[in-house]
Structure 1
């Protein structure tokens, strides 16, 4: 059982878009797979479907939207991560199996960021 909440992605039905509440604000996330580069991406939209960040690459162990300073980005740490610490990358085989898009809310989560 997971210690953290996570955002569920249906990797078999991409592109996938859905509304979600993050840090008290409703936003839309759109997930897709880049077949040329072999990586997953996420787009962030406000509640009017206006783009905030487009084409953010999901990178294992790296917080989404890190390094961006846009007040429209929800103030929440979201990171592709494997709680067992066995994985080091995101692949079609492990996403949604051992690697999940976690909301990093535990006290020691800053150690991973």
Structure 2
């Protein structure tokens, strides 16, 4: 996979840190609610203007999925569960089994059947799968048989 994770110190929550996404600086605050054992994310721009406030971290879901705002980063931030078994993000599993990740997968990369014999296929197009990059359309063998005019029968007629 092509994912970078956003790590934070869960023992010092709430924690605010700077991150660069889409060429812009953002401030991220991760907070923890002990009552319901859930974590929340707040995103601010470089001027500390809140763009997203207290979005709940949900296993397997993309952050800011329902928000359309040109000020948000273009990258998809997703909650990736490394074990494949977590159903929620809580204090015990965050930054151990579940991570906030910058999803840099290609469209269709995770679609079943988009590879042929393990060959990476980012666009999901199977038309050219299985062809080696060094193959050419040139015919094999010696082609100088047709180089001489005497090889052709030029009949007069």
1:42-57 to structure 2, matched below 5 A, reads: 42-57=41-56
Shift of 1:20: 0.4
**Higher RCO, Cα 8 Å, sep 6+:** 1
Q: How does 1:1-113 map to 2 (within 5 A)?
A: 3-107=2-106, 108=109
Separation (CA, whole Å) in 1 of partners of 2:103 and 2:87: 17
Deviations 1:82-110 (A, max 9, x none): 23423232121111111111111122358
CA RMSD of aligned residues (A): 1.9
Name the SS for the 1:67 alignment partner.
coil
In structure 1, the gaps of 5 or more residues are none
Give the paired residue count.
110
Higher strand share: 1
- How does the TM-score come out when normalised to structure 2? 0.64
Structure 2 distance, partners of 1:110, 1:13, is 38
Change (3 A) 1:12 1:109: farther
**TM-score, normalised relative to structure 1:** 0.87
Consecutive unaligned residues in structure 2, runs of 5 or more: 113-157
